[in-house]
Structure 1
Amino acid sequence: MVDVAGNIGGVLSPVLEVGKWLAAPIWHQFKYLYNYNTNFKNLEKQVDKLKNTREEVQRKVIAAERNVEKIRQNVKDWQKDVEKTITKAEQLIQGKEKIPGCFKGLCPNYKQSKRAFKLKRDDIDPLLKQEKEFDQVSFPTIQQDIWLRSSEDYLTFESRNSTVKHVWDALNDDNVYMIGVYGMGGIGKTTLVQEVGRKAEKDKLFEDIVFVEVTQTFDIKRVQTEIGDKLGVKFSNESERANKLYERLKSGKKILLILDNIWENVDLKTIGIPSKMDRGGCQLMFTTRNLDLLEKMGSTNNFKMGILEEGEAWNLFVKMAGDVIQTSELNSLPNDVCKECGGVPIVICTIAKTLKYKSHPSVWKVALQELKALSTTKSHSSVLGQARVAPT
């Protein structure tokens, strides 16, 4: 006897499987058609939520940028992805009203519904989740010192070129650890080493260039703090200051540390500055008025700066004073005042700028008399901050 049930079952089984296979896409289409309005409402809701989140992040970004902080790359990438996703979602939402044959959007379309569902699930939801993982949108940066930026006021002088060259050659010599520039006050030592520093920055000679003014009243804590801030070193307690700076400076990275205006023999180790033997890639540059001081500190590559030559002094005076020197009533007064400045750049600049808009001869005569009086009792460098002229 033939097993009819078994045969029928055997025949129906693959047919049922085919039926299930054919029914699957139909069911998916039906599902998207059935949830058409729901999918679009959910999409619109999440788009609004994403827009609000975008605004919150943007406010944080603006605040961070105003505080001169650097925005994290993952935040920038997130913002770009958000803009693209919002644009895509808005186009999809607007597009549902424009489907041919629709009347006021009443034409469920399973493909559009499917896109709305997947856009929310695969794009918007992950972006919202990612934003919650941002601990911070930015991080503080070590700002470049203003003096390292291009200086339009810097003037080259023939008499200084050899000194600049010697300092530059020493800076490029890995065997040289200390470099000293010395000379009377106001002669332009600081200006020269800063210009060399700018050139070193431009040529990528060092990874970090730090400039700290020591001043006559040496404050070790202030010096350590300034060096630390510029190298990104943070101190949690007083006892670790020197040790942390020492490790940072001897790390092997190329670092130029300029200590400006030294007045006394500074014990470098107490600050946290390594010795020549374990300096890593660190180089030191000093400015001071005293050659003996450099030698006591162990600096053997020392270069003297002198006063400007007469022609150089006059060119600087003209640049600082401007067109007023062409006033015919002044006669030889501008030349006389310039000569009395003694070729000292800071004195020339101070006096010339003071007289820049003074065209009355009497004002220039007063300035000349004060310069002569000061030159007989004090050094020219003391003129800075003391020169006064009567108003016109």
Structure 2
Amino acid sequence: MDCVSPILDIATRLWNCTTNHTAYISHLQDNLHSLRDAKRELENISKDIEIRVELAEQQYSVRTNQVKGWLESTQLIVIEANDILQKGDQEIQKKCFGCCCPRNCCSSYKLGKEAIKKIDAVKELIKKSHFDVVADRLRRPIVDERPVEKTVGMDSIFGEVWRCIEDPSIGGVIGLFGMGGVGKTTLLKKLNNECLDTTHDFDVVIWVVVSREVNLEKIQEAIWKKLQIPVDMMSNKDSDERAIEIFHVLKNKKFALLLDDLWERIDLLTMGISIDHSRTGSKIIFTTRKEDVCSQMEAHRRFRVERLPSEAALDLFRLKVGENILNSHHEIPKLAEIAARECNGLPITIITVARAMANWRTPEEWQREIQVLRRYRLEIPEDHNILKDELIELWIGEGFLDKFYNIYDARNHGEYIIGRLKLACLLETGPYRNIIKMHDVIRDMALKLASETKDMILVQECGGGLRLSRQKEVIRMSLWSPGVEFFDETLTCPCLSTFLVKDSELKRIPNTFFRFMFSLSVLDLSCNKDLIRLPLELGELINLHYLNLSYTNIDVLPFAVMNLTRLRILLLDETKNLKGISRTLISRLQSLQVFSRILSSTKIRNYDESSSDEELLEVLHYDQSSGNTELLEGHYDHPWNEVELFEGLEFLKRITDISITLSTFPSVLKFKSSPKLQCCIKRLTIMCTEMVSLDISSSAMQRMENLHMLSIRDCHSLREVKICLEDDHERIQGVLVPKCFRSLGYLRVENCLVKDLTWLIYAPTIKYLWVDNCPELEEIIANDLGSSEIEESIELFSKLESVNLVSLPSLKSICRGAMPFPSLQNLEVMDCTNLRKIPFDSSSAKKSLNAIKGSKTWWDALEWDDEAAENVFASKFIESEFLLFKPASSALPSTYTKQLQRFK
């Protein structure tokens, strides 16, 4: 019995083993079915998981490593299962003995065993497929790269801004401002993308487009999405709560916030942005069209994005046109230069025009397209300028400033508007401070906006005659530049309110020309040197508010002009042939507020490129395109009864702004005795050859509170200008002089015999001083009144910005002792051989001075009280044998600066 039990156990084990192994063979088909079902279930589960993963990845998530491994295992095991199933199906087809026994038991055994194992593996993967999370939120890159076209001419400003971003010592807010289309957004994109390639330690770089209509919620959304704050945390919160969440995420991060297209100040704190630059080194960089937004945003650095210089503009144009087009004909490269110039350095225009020109391959096509470019630009020729005063006077004539009864309030508001337009980059500063201009793209935009309204504006480059098919609809008409010599017919323009014909060759106007211009309020015929007679029907323009006849050769002002009872502004500057204006005529213009007739005394002569800049300022006609300069005005050859004119002006109740020339001694006496004229005077030129002394009472000086410009010229007998103080307490005793010229900013003294200009102590607001050809002038401020205490008490020269001293052989002193000159920018001394000292010490004009110009001989002969001052100003000296600085344009009557092309 003891032997039987072990034998039985062994037999049982052998039987079980044999049974299990034979099951691999006998149950092969069933096992293959089970494997096929399990594989199908696994594949379906895998597809569902892949869909979940793809959806998550579209939401800036990344699949977990667990899911990634499971999908890889699933993919592998499905391949292995398919292999087993394929081999198993083949094995079953090979069975013998009536399809009951396999031909190859070993092969069937092996497949059966693999099928069982694979079923278990598939079931294990199915068991592990219950994932709660298939993907984790992806950490977005620090910087999102932004598509940007290749740029030209932007490297310099890019480098400057990037250095400010990298420099931890520079404050955290940087403003980029400039006109639309100049490339501000492109520059900001380049700065954004630079963060991809440059080693920096920003934790995050955020890009937000703000635009004109500020939407706080959209700005916050752009920020919190970049910061990857979960949507469910922000969706049900108000703006204040979202700001708190953003603040908590950013407060310890070093971030760069890039804000594109700001139109006004935005409160960063309300968005959750609190920039603690000193602690985190964060930066905020924004773009705007308005310079004052930089101030409102408290920018530590601001950069004006300028138009491209000509070479860079041409390079960009060639890049966008393509070399294959440029090389298609030998004339096209030259035409490309012309087309590029028409774009005026504005990248957006260059790119647009270049892409359009890339469609043309022949010179004829290019020439045609260039003509189209020129034909539909605004009426203002390239680089045309206008004095601010002239533009404001046009606005007054148009009625834009009607709410101001006082003309000076209207002027001040006009100045404010111009300032706002300049800050918005809709207007630009011209070659001088008081000159403004508008560039081509803004003109095009203005015309397009005008074309979308009911008002019809005709702007025509003259040269082919006046072509006007819709006369009755025209509201404003501007004909500028040579080409119009005469009008052949009467224009039927009943809606016309503004008519400008300037700088042309107009010789004749038909008597009936203005017959059907019932609504005309602004008429500008200035700078037509061949215009001699005016039509009598000019007096029928009863709605006329503005009449400019300056720089014409009219000899008579039609008596019918007295019917223009609504006329507010009458400009007659440099009408040298005008015989006179009667007291009766001028006194009938009861609405007149502004009257100007300033004359120059410069002799007829021609000028070339060697002429001094001051000489050029005397020029009354300047053709910038050709560079030729021709003087139109000569001596005032037709003296007429100025006293009669002044008496007529005195009779006008609304007159508040007068600019006149005193050329005779009786007219000087009349002016000195007329409180009305003194109160209204704005610009005054005195050219009285017989006058020996000019005495101004302190009360008269006080009345001339609006006097802005004073020119004393060609008074060949004048030896002194004296202020007559009427009370002892007005005398200078170390205290501020109570009565003075309150507004006098521009003074020119030329061709006189005065020995000093000490009376300037009564002109504390003087900005520009020009003294020329006064052979006996020894001092500007006489020594006996030049103590530093008195100079400081009256703030002498505290606003002085520019000084030109020319041909003063006797001049020895400007004033005694050093003075601060806190505003002085330019000093030019020419042919003043006896001026051995300038009133500077090492702290004079410390922050303002740009340059001192004069001959090297004069500079080397200067005497200095301390070596430190000499060292300081040596770096400011520029050798010059001719005048480079000019008085600002407003230092002269607007008519003195005809060559500074005017705004249309």
TM bin (shorter chain): 0.7 to 0.9
Separation (CA, whole Å) in 2 of partners of 1:383 and 1:325 = 33
Aligned residue number for residue 382 of structure 1: 442
Shift of 1:195: 0.9
- What is the rounded CA distance, in whole Å, between the counterparts of 2:157 and 2:268 in structure 1? 25
What is the rounded CA distance, in whole Å, between the counterparts of 2:332 and 2:187 in structure 1?
A: 33
Query: Which letter maps to 1:298?
Result: E
State whether structure 2 residue 151 is matched by structure 1 residue 190. no
Using the TM superposition, give the Cα deviation of residue 37 of structure 1 relative to its aligned residue in structure 2, in angstroms.
3.3
Superposed CA offset, 1:87-139 (max 9, x none): 21122223233499853684364443232112111x211333344x2457667
1:37 equivalenced with 2:29 (yes/no): yes
Q: Is 1:162 aligned with 2:156?
A: yes
Whether the 8 Å CA contact 2:342–2:373 is kept in 1: the answer is no
Q: Which amino acid aligns with 2:341?
A: K
SS at the partner of 1:373? Answer: coil
**Cα distance, 1:28 vs structure 2:** 3.5
| CA offset digits 1:200-221 (Å, max 9, x no partner) | 1233644533222222332222
The answer for the alignment partner of 1:116 in structure 2 is: 115
- Alignment partner of 1:361 out of 349, 363, 367: 367
Q: Structure 2: how far apart are the matches of 1:172 and 1:106?
A: 83
**How big is the shift at 1:309?**
1.5
Say whether residues 1:212 and 2:208 are aligned partners: yes
Please identify the structure whose Cα radius of gyration is greater: 2
Shift of 1:308: 1.6
Give yes or no for contact 2:178–2:289 (8 Å, CA) kept in 1: yes
1:325-344 correspondence to structure 2 within 5 Å = 334-344=336-346
Instruction: Answer yes or no: is the 8 Å Cα contact 2:53–2:63 preserved in 1.
Output: no
Alignment partner, residue 243 of structure 2: 242
2:377 alignment partner in structure 1: 371
Please give the secondary structure, in 2, of the residue aligned with 1:284. Answer: strand
Q: Indicate the residue corresponding to 2:288 in structure 1.
A: 288
Match of 2:227 in 1: 231
How far apart are residue 22 of structure 1 and its match? 5.5
- Measured in 2, the distance between the counterparts of 1:144 and 1:43 equals 45
Secondary structure at 1:343's aligned position in 2?
A: coil
1-side partners of 2:151 and 2:83: how far apart?
60
Aligned-partner Cα distance in 2 for 1:365–1:92? 79
Higher mean C-alpha deviation, range 162-171 or range 97-106: 97-106
Change (3 A) 1:291 1:63: closer
Map residues 306-321 of structure 1 onto 2, 5 A cutoff: 306-321=306-321
Tell me if the contact between 1:250 and 1:282 (Cα under 8 Å) persists in the aligned partners.
no
Question: For structure 1, which segment, 232-241 or 262-271, has the greater mean C-alpha deviation from structure 2 after superposition?
Answer: 232-241
Partner of 2:654: none
CA distance in 2, matches of 1:75, 1:383: 62
Q: Is the 8 A contact 2:357 2:366 kept in 1?
A: no
> Structure 1 327/145 Cα, relative in aligned 2: closer, same or farther at 3 Å?
farther
SS at match of 1:82: helix
Q: What is the rounded CA distance, in whole Å, between the counterparts of 2:26 and 2:343 in structure 1? A: 93
Deviation of the 1:244 alpha carbon: 1.8
Are the aligned partners of 2:310 and 2:345 in contact in 1 as well (CA < 8 Å)? yes
SS of structure 2 residue aligned to 1:306: coil
CA contact (8 A) 1:183 1:306 kept: yes
Q: Contact between 2:175 and 2:287, CA under 8 Å: does it hold in 1?
A: yes
CA–CA distance in structure 2, aligned partners of residues 357 and 110 of structure 1: 76
Distance in 2, matches of 1:47 and 1:363, equals 70
Q: Name the SS for the 1:179 alignment partner.
A: strand
Closer/same/farther in 2, CA of residues 257 and 52 from structure 1, 3 Å limit: same
Greater Cα offset, 51-60 or 221-230:
51-60
Decide whether aligned partners of structure 1 residues 167 and 371 sit closer, same or farther in structure 2, where only a CA change above 3 A counts: same
The amino acid across from 2:371 in the alignment is K
Residue 336 (structure 1) shift: 3.8
Alignment of 1:64-213 (within 5 A): 72-73=63-64, 74-96=66-88, 97-98=90-91, 102-103=95-96, 106-107=101-102, 109-121=108-120, 123-131=121-129, 133-134=130-131, 148-149=145-146, 151=148, 153-157=149-153, 160-174=154-168, 176=170, 177-203=172-198, 205=200, 206-213=202-209
Is contact 2:174–2:302 with CA below 8 Å preserved after alignment?
A: yes
Residue-pair matches, total: 373
Deviation per residue, 1:266-310 (Å, 9 max, x gap): 211011112216975743211224444334433323333322221
8 Å CA contact retained: 1:337, 1:368:
no
For the 8 Å contact 1:212–1:223, the answer to whether it is kept is yes
Q: 1:331 to 1:201 in 2, by over 3 A?
A: closer
Single out whichever of 186-195 and 270-279 deviates more from structure 2: 270-279
Which consecutive residues of structure 2, in runs of 5 or more, have no partner in the other structure?
A: 385-436, 449-904
In 1, distance between residues paired with 2:20 and 2:279? 71
CA distance in 1, matches of 2:11, 2:278: 81
Higher relative contact order (CA 8 A, sep 6+): 1
Q: Once the two structures are superposed, what CA deviation does each residue of 1:336-384 show, in whole Å capped at 9, x if it has no partner?
A: 4432432222232233334443525343213113335366574444267
Aligned amino acid, residue 161 of structure 2: V
Letter in 2 for 1:48: R
Alignment check: 8 A CA contact 1:249 1:280 kept: no
How far off its partner does 1:150 sit? 5.3
Alpha-carbon RMSD: 4.0
DSSP 3-state at the match of 1:303: strand
| Aligned equivalents of 1:368, 1:299: Cα separation in 2 | 39
Pairing 1:222–2:218 present: yes
Identity of aligned residues (%): 25
* Corresponding residue for residue 263 of structure 2: 263
Contact 2:162 2:191 in 1 (8 A): yes
**Which moved further from structure 2: 358-367 or 274-283?**
274-283
Deviations 1:15-54 (CA, angstroms, capped at 9, x unpaired) = 6666666666445435545543332221122223334444
CA distance in 2, matches of 1:119, 1:174: 64
Q: Which runs of 5+ in 1 are unaligned?
A: 1-7
Deviations 1:158-191 (A, max 9, x none): xx32322222223334555333323333221211
Change (3 A) 1:319 1:37: closer
Report the 3-state secondary structure (helix = DSSP H, G, I; strand = E; otherwise coil) of the residue aligned with 1:256: strand
C-alpha separation in 1, matches of 2:333 and 2:195: 44
Q: CA deviation at 1:240?
A: 1.9
Code of the aligned partner of 1:294: C
1:64–1:229 CA distance, 2 compared to 1 (3 A): closer
Q: Does the 8 Å CA contact 1:180/1:303 hold for their aligned counterparts?
A: yes
Per the alignment, residue 354 of structure 2 pairs with 352
Compute the displacement of 1:147 (Å): 8.1
Distance, in Å, in 1 between the alignment partners of 2:335 and 2:85 is 81
Q: Quick check: 187-196 or 14-23, which moved more? A: 14-23
Rounded to whole Å, the distance in 1 between the matches of 2:297 and 2:186 is 22
Deviates more, 1:223-232 or 1:12-21: 12-21
Measured at CA, do residues 277 and 312 of structure 1 come closer, stay the same or move farther in structure 2, by a change above 3 Å? closer
In 2 relative to 1, CA 378–305 (structure 1 residues): closer, same or farther, beyond 3 Å? closer
